Amino acid sequence: MTFFERAATMRRRNPQPSEGEGVAKRAVYPGMFDPLHNGHVDVIQRSLAIFDEVIVAVVANPSKAPLFTVEQRLEMIDEATRTSA
């Protein structure tokens, strides 16, 4: 099993490199997100104002018993950020 099980990617509405930049600015936000809460969503929304792309990486930790599966957590992230991206 990989450490980062799956990732959800959020992009700005117009995913082009920032002005004066030749390369898009990307950020990776790793976490368990079990459960996803408003603080997580706030960080994602604020990050999208700074970066061109935010990759939300859902961590699978075999030593913990999560409340939700990785698929359920990704679905929650997609639903919560649908209007943000």
- What type of residue is 28? V
Position 81 pLDDT exceeds 50: yes
At residue 40, the pLDDT reads 94
At residue 2, the pLDDT reads 45
At residue 59, the pLDDT reads 86
pLDDT digits (tens, 9 = 90+) for 8-45: 555 555 556 656 666 778 889 999 999 999 999 999 98
4-81: CATH number: 3.40.50.620
| pTM exceeding 0.85 | no
Rounded CA separation 27/72 (Å): 22
Domains of the chain: which residue ranges?
Answer: 4-81
